A = this chain, B = another copy of it.
Amino acid sequence: MPESPFRTRPGRNAATPGASMSGPEAEERVVSAVVEAILGHRIAPGTRLIERELANYAGASRSAIRNGLLTLAHAGLVELSPNKGATIAMCSPEEARQIFEARIVIEASVLDILARTLDEAGRARLDAFIDEEHAAYEAGRMEEARHLSRRFHLLVAELSGNDVLTGFVRDLINRQPLLSWTREVRQSRFCGNDAHKRIVEALARGDGAEAARLNTEHLRELERELRTDRESALKTVGAEDADEVPRPRPG
């Protein structure tokens, strides 16, 4: 069984390595493995991805890996430089700001659309989702809670019925974990506050402007938290265990 090419936390692997079967699934396997690893904060930005290692890991040929990396690069999750290879993308503070700005304006538009078109079925899905999210949080299943918290914004986009905007939102959400390279993001206010719930209530009232305002506030708070996390991480960067969290290699 090939070893995971990602440095992982002890007892937690990036994904189950596939058999050595190849095919179009192999490409997807690599893509989703990398995405999952990024989302789970198991790879740090700047980590170099080596084609051959990924190929062995996924039981695929280098061509499939190459395609997968191209896909990831287009999604902004990895950076490709000619003759140098692929690394997990690193977001500068400025890029992070732009991503948040983009999320704010696009999600505001989506909420505005949704407030006008939300039907009973959609409302029911949102309510059920909020309950599920709350339950995960209450039960202390933090990883799941964080996952659902991200999914909420995607669900809102999906319900708006615009696949194009939904795709943009998905890309932006997937890049979120690149913005902070601390392993464990503070979860306190993630789902503790009922920001999502209040957004849904505004939507149910048909008040798109208020829903957008709440969402904007919510994202701004997230951005603030992230920035403080980032700053504190920079201060203590020398004290961490290099084996657990791979440091970005320059160049």
> Which A residues lie at the B interface, using CB under 8 A?
24, 66-67, 70-71, 74, 82, 95, 98-99, 101-102, 105-106, 108-110, 112-113, 162-165, 168, 172
Q: Which 3 A-B pairs have the closest CB atoms?
A: A105-B109, A74-B74, A102-B164
Shortest A161–chain B CB gap in Å is: 8
Cα–Cα, bound, A71→B72 (Å): 11
Contacting residues, chain B, for A172 (C-beta < 8 A) = 164
Do residues B82 and A24 form an inter-chain contact, with CB atoms below 8 A? Answer: yes
Cα–Cα, bound, A99→B99 (Å): 21
Do residues B101 and A165 form an inter-chain contact, with CB atoms below 8 A? Answer: yes
Shortest A226–chain B CB gap in Å is: 16
Cα–Cα, bound, A66→B66 (Å): 11
Contacting residues, chain B, for A101 (C-beta < 8 A) = 113, 162, 164-165
Do residues A98 and B163 form an inter-chain contact, with CB atoms below 8 A? Answer: yes
Cα–Cα, bound, A145→B108 (Å): 33
Shortest A115–chain B CB gap in Å is: 13
Contacting residues, chain B, for A164 (C-beta < 8 A) = 95, 98-99, 101-102, 172
